[in-house]
């Protein structure tokens, strides 16, 4: 039986800006149905690694493949497989919450897109704000909108940058359930986080990102490391 194609394979990957690396070389393989947590101090390069994986940043050096192909954010095949939620306000300011989710779902070929929207509004506690514009939401509500949008479309790889930010305890627990379900359905999860509970509860392994050395750790060691490094 052939081995599954890795969701992400990075070999001696250097990422940075203007040709200058921001961290040591990164090497890891992420298989479908598994989760890898990137841990380390703020500014260590975790978000930069994520941006390279989703095609927003060209690597400085090294090899990077997503589902066996070089990363090209312009390719339809790539865009149909990868969904990402970064730590920015990537929403449509002139669309309501419900319209935003519908556009994402329908634009990626989801049938019965309004049904999907209703499910996500309920799941992420946004039903009462369905007609609101993003500018009228609190920072926590906008964060939930971005997370809902990440789950609104089909995907094989989910890339998240500190998804725990600005979530209350109930929504944090729901996110953990969602990510575990993502893995159980065969999806791969790549997440940068400062949350030890998320690492312990979702990740299969952790990758410590640092300017001197990047190394793979157990999930438990990755969670413990979070308490030792500045956020």
Strand 35-39 relative to strand 188-192, pairing: parallel
- What's the pLDDT tens digit per position in 172-214? 999 999 999 999 999 999 999 999 999 999 999 999 999 999 9
Residues of the chain below pLDDT 70: 1-2, 88, 230-231
**pLDDT for the residue 231:** 61
pTM attached to this predicted model? 0.94
**pLDDT for the residue 40:** 95
83 neighbors 150 (Cβ within 8 angstroms): yes
- Structure-block tokens of residue 225: 């490391």
Contacts of 76 (CB under 8 A, 6+ apart): none
How many residues in total does the chain contain? 231
Strand 188-192 relative to strand 157-161, pairing: parallel
- Helix 113-123 with 139-151: angle, nearest 10 deg: 140
CA distance 148 to 177: 14
Domains delineated in the chain: 8-226 (3.40.50.300)
222 neighbors 194 (Cβ within 8 angstroms): no
87 neighbors 47 (Cβ within 8 angstroms): yes
Burial class (CB in 10 A: 0-12, 13-18, 19+), 90: exposed
Alpha-helix runs per DSSP H in the chain: 46-53, 76-81, 97-107, 113-123, 139-151, 169-184, 196-202, 219-226
């Amino acid at each position: 039986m052939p081995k599954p194609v890795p969701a992400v394979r990075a070999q001696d990957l250097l990422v940075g800006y203007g040709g200058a690396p921001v961290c040591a070389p990164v090497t890891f393989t992420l298989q479908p149905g598994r989760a890898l947590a990137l841990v380390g101090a703020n500014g260590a390069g975790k978000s930069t690694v994520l941006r390279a994986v989703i095609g927003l940043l060209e690597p400085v050096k090294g090899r990077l493949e997503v589902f066996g192909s070089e990363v090209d954010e312009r390719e339809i095949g790539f865009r149909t497989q990868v969904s990402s939620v970064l730590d920015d306000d990537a929403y449509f300011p002139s669309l309501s919450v419900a319209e935003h989710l519908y556009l994402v779902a329908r634009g990626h070929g989801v049938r019965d897109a309004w049904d999907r929207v209703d499910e996500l509004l309920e799941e992420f506690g946004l039903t009462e704000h369905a007609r609101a514009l993003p500018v009228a939401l609190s920072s926590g509500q906008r964060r939930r909108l971005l997370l809902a949008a990440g789950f609104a479309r089909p995907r094989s790889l989910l890339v998240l940058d500190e998804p725990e930010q600005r979530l209350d305890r109930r929504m944090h627990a729901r996110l953990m359930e969602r990510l575990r379900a993502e893995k159980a359905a065969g999806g791969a999860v790549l997440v940068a986080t400062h949350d030890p509970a998320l690492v312990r509860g979702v990740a299969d392994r952790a990758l410590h990102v640092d300017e001197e050395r990047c190394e793979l750790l157990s999930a438990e060691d990755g969670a413990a490391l979070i308490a030792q490094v500045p956020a």
